[in-house]
Amino acid sequence: MNEIKPRFEFRTWARNFGKVEEKMRKLSPCGGIRESSEVYIVSAGNNENNTKIRDKLMDIKVFITSREGLEQWNPRMKGEFPMQSAMLTSDVFPAFGVEMPELERDEYTLDQYLDEVILPHPQLSAVSVFKRRFAFTINECIAEHAEIEINGAGLQTVSVESVDVPAILEAKNMLGLDEYENVNYLRAIKRVIGMERLPD
């Protein structure tokens, strides 16, 4: 069985990507449109674990390394609600890097987890994220232009992913993204909700 290699990613954000989107659509036909509503759990104690919930499934990705201004992430766990407290204790909360609250149930539904465990915690926030994603292929890389709402705040994001770092760098150049900052979902959400300050 072939080993699945984690992809490197470049992602950036703006109010509008007019010229970049034009270039993307000239270079590649749109390969599909996907919409999803997700909940990201962001922590004041950690910037290296990306935790999100979609369709009652929890997905945690962990930061591995950076190279040439790109970031590499790898899945750490997937879990389904209702979820056993033992899994929350052993697999989920260590990813947040904050103090573990006392759990009063043996099992938590998604609503119970959000209302009773996450929302009362002073260092954690549950953030609603809606995504409308347009898929492209640029220089044999997975590329995306997406319309995002973070707790209702509208932004756009463009990303390029591949296991091939030089191919991503060339795709960035083709799209005119060389001067844009690489900002992953976790940091972008923290900036929107005021958990992380904007760079000077």
Question: Is residue 101 in a domain?
Answer: no
Tabulate helix, strand, coil % of the chain (nearest 5). Answer: 25, 45, 30
pLDDT for residue 68 is more than 70: yes
Percentage of the chain beyond pLDDT 90 is 90
50: containing domain: 8-78+124-193
Question: Is residue 12 in a domain?
Answer: yes
Question: Is residue 102 in a domain?
Answer: no
pLDDT of residue 197: 84
CATH of the domain at 189: 2.40.320.10
Question: Is residue 44 in a domain?
Answer: yes
- Distance in angstroms (rounded) separating the CA atoms of residues 61 and 155: 23
pLDDT for residue 2 is more than 60: no
Question: Is residue 50 in a domain?
Answer: yes
DSSP string spanning 123-180?
TEEEEEEEEEEEEEEETTEEEEEEEEEETTEEEEEEEEEES-HHHHHHHHHHHT-TTS
pLDDT one-digit tens code per residue, 27-47:
999 999 999 999 999 999 999
Number of domains in the chain: 1
pLDDT for residue 195 is more than 50: yes
Question: Is residue 106 in a domain?
Answer: no
pLDDT of residue 198: 80
**What residue type is 52 in one-letter code?**
K
Residue 156 has which token pair? 């756009």
Question: Is residue 29 in a domain?
Answer: yes
pLDDT of residue 1: 45
pLDDT for residue 50 is more than 90: yes
pLDDT one-digit tens code per residue, 102-153:
999 999 999 999 999 999 999 999 999 999 999 999 999 999 999 999 999 9
